[in-house]
Amino acid sequence: MNEPAFYTATMAKVFAEQGYLEKSAQIYRYLLKREPHRQELKAALLQVEQKLDMEKKTHPRDLTPLFEKWLSLLLRYRNLQKLKKLQNTTLNQTSKRV
C-alpha cells in the first residue's frame, strides 16, 4: 500500500485507529500537499502527531539509561553476593575457633 493514488482520508483514519500512526500521518501529509485548504485534514494530522508524540514519550526509543541502571544493579548484586560469601566464611572461621 505504498501507492499514493490510493491514499484517502478514510484510509488515514483507519490506519490511525489500528495504531499505524506513522503511516496515517504520511497519508494526511500527502493529502494536505494536494489540498492544503482542507481544515479537517489539518486537524486529523495534528491529532495523529499528538498521539505520536505521546507514544514517543511513553515508549522511549533510547534504552541506554535502562541498560545503565540494569548494569549498575547487576554490579551491586554481585558485590552483595561476594560480601555475603565473605561474611559466611568469616562466621565459619570464627565458630571453628570458639
Q: Calculate ∠ Cα 43-47-34, nearest 5°.
A: 45
Residue-wise pLDDT for 41-59, tens only, equals: 999 999 999 999 888 777 6
For the segment 60-76, the average pLDDT, to the nearest whole number, is 85
Report yes or no: 28 and 48 within 8 Å, Cβ to Cβ. yes
State how far the alpha carbon of 44 is from the alpha carbons of 2, 41, 57, 78, in Å: 20, 5, 20, 52
Instruction: Provide the whole-model pTM.
Output: 0.57
Report yes or no: 12 and 27 within 8 Å, Cβ to Cβ. yes
Name which of 2-6, 29-33, 35-39, 84-88 the model is least confident about: 2-6
pLDDT above 60: residue 71: yes
pLDDT above 70: residue 2: no
pLDDT above 80: residue 38: yes
Place of cell 500521518: 25
